[in-house]
A and B are shown apart, each in its own frame.
Chain A
Amino acid sequence: MSGAFVPVERLRDTIADSRLQSAIYTATGRLIEKRASAVSPEVLPDYQDLREQAHRVKRHTLENLDYYLEQLEANATAHGGHVVWCNNGEEVADFILGLAKQRGASLIVKSKSMTTEEIDLNERLEHHHLDAIETDLGEYILQLAHERPYHIVAPALHKTRHEVADLFADRLGVQHDVVIENQTLTARRVLREKFLAAGIGITGANFLVADSGAVVIVENEGNARLTSSAPPIHIAIAGIEKLIPRAQDLAVFLKLLGRSATGQPLTVYTSFLSGPRRPGEVDGPGEFHLVLLDNGRTKLLADAAKRESLFCIRCGACLNHCPVYRKIGGHNYPGTYSGPIGAIITPQYRGVMAHPWLPFASTLCGACAEVCPVKIDIPRLLLDLRSEVVRERSGVERVAFRAFAWLATHPRAYTLVTAMAARLAPRGENGWLRRLPFFARFGALEKWLSQRDIPLPARRSFRKYWRARAKGGPAA
């Protein structure tokens, strides 16, 4: 995991790996195209109204979060569910370990959940000899390879069929096979046994619905349906920000989520689950536990200006459209969430100085904000975080900007210094300064300028020109 400094070596490796570059570029490119045709005015004329509505609903919910959490809890309990509140990952693991022990469950199946990635749930359970098996095809591959997701929606985007063939042969003892259809069937066969044998199924949740006490899970494979309906116990783990007030709000959110993520008007499966099976129902889990996780979310909630970071519905569109993500991929970002959304939430969870470079890893082109289905103003939040980093720093940059601020507010000094700079400036090439004079070649300044050319200062300043013109002197 990356720390306080830009992971230069790994970035170089990523950029030099042409196979990986093409995998990232092709995958995100496809998702960009699919999204674009799914939200075009011909097929979704009210797309912008839907985004606006989604933003308003999320803002309203988060501004009244305690009310809706209590409503959710009351309704879930009324339907026979059990609500568990957890401050952090440790409490989640303790709860699951306790329950598994009580019920004598040793095998757990899991469907894709970024929230459980965030709290390293699998490692925590493994540590106590509980097998938790990922069942989403991409996540299963990553679990066998001991890697973390590369992308919110396409977790194994960076893996080739050849790597999967090696992995399956090595870890599952099956024949080496590079045909993707066969690899998929192998996973189906191996995991089907697990679904039917598991004592507990753990899912995430895309939405929590307050007026229904329900969780909503969207997926394409069917593994989340299996996880939530085959084992006798279903545990859903969700961040407290996943709430929406009403089931009817799903008309807005489901439309936006599928289209923004993969260009699907609706994903193959959407499960709306409120509690365990009821008397008379043919099948389904006998127990339903809903884990509500904070893990730093209340910290983000407190900052009214940055609160909208919590609106995110994890569609991944900002990753696909980000020129930085498309170059450096998902594993060079610190934390669970990569791309633009990761660059705004990771610093808020961990403190800006944990990775002070992260908010700067953006061109501020604004593509992320343009495609965000809930209209999170990511570039503005990045700028806010950059200011925080600068305020925390006591280094060169801060002194330099202070000096500049002083200079810019003192006209006489400004005139003097700029006149001096113009005179001292070395000869450039074709009007550009490409190399610094020797006395300025040091430290951060040299590094900063090594990537930038500066236009040569004009021989005559605008102020001089203006004074001369006012006196009726030559205009040229």
Chain B
Amino acid sequence: MKHVPAVLPRWIDVVLLPVLNVAMALFAAGLVVWAIGQNPLTAVQLLVQGAFGSALAWSYTLYYTTNFICTGLAVAVAFHCGHFNIGAEGQGTVGGLGVGLVLLAGDAWLPAPLLVPLAILGGLLAGAGWAFVPAWLQARRGSHIVITTIMFNFLASTLMVWLLVNVVKVPGNQAVESRLFAPGAVLPSAQAVFGAFGLDWPDTPLNLAFVLALLACVLVWAMLWHTRLGYALRAVGLASGAARYAGIDPRRLTVIAMCISGALAALVGANEIAGVHHKLLLDFVAGAGFTGIAVALMGRNHPLGIVLSALLFGALAQGGSELVFEMPAFTRDMSVAVQGFVVLFCGALALLLRPPVAWVYGRLAKVPA
């Protein structure tokens, strides 16, 4: 095994390998497209056109991106603390429930500029609270957080069904949803925001939550790499024993990291409930919690990477739904499959290409082994 270095330069580990992994995932997806009798290159071209071809397309793409940024950040913060949060789906659901309940309770008597921030705060607290229980059980009772967060996803959706059917549903209405919030008591849409500056923008679901998501990225970045809390959190994730020796309580950090994670996932609720639907309804998270896992893995758990990979999945979601008209076989489900390949190649098989790349690098650079 001459010429095979054990330590590779940073650019290979941080840039080359992740890019190769994404390439493998997209190649696998291309094979599927080809196998169902479509031209993968045409599909990509149509996808890009559908996702970025116009202001309308951009607007929809960024709307999907908003959700994926939030859940990607949620998964990443838990990852940095050494935990795998599969519960973003449930935390987003309960977060949206919090947002919706505050809006329903206050839209008759509180002014919107006060109510909407209050509702988002309520959502964040609800999401954090939903994550708190599995986190506390992991920290204090040793119950595996992966299993408990999966259970809490199901509990969240059951809770939502029960509340909507029995408590907040409009009597006499067939649809399982609440009444609409008062017109002003919502997050302003992109059309309204741009309109206020006299700019023209198409009517799409994109709303101010997108700005909140970007803000969350900056805050998470600052928190993780520029505060004591973030340092402690990453220390626990890298070496829990060493962190304890340094006076950091891993149990406390587990709970804090998961609560932050839950609050970030709850932003999906703010986007969907306060920004798009303007009422409480079922299944509004629509799998974004699971997409967040792919987004975080692909973005290497870094906020910048997460924005980029969320944009890719946003483009897939939007471009995919446009593609249906050109290629009937190509639906949103294709983008679900692509997410799966990304999780497989960027997550589970992340080290697949490292040995061959190390071998090639050793050959080229003539590094002593």
Q: Do A and B bind each other?
A: no
Which residues of chain A have a CB within 8 Å of any CB of chain B? none
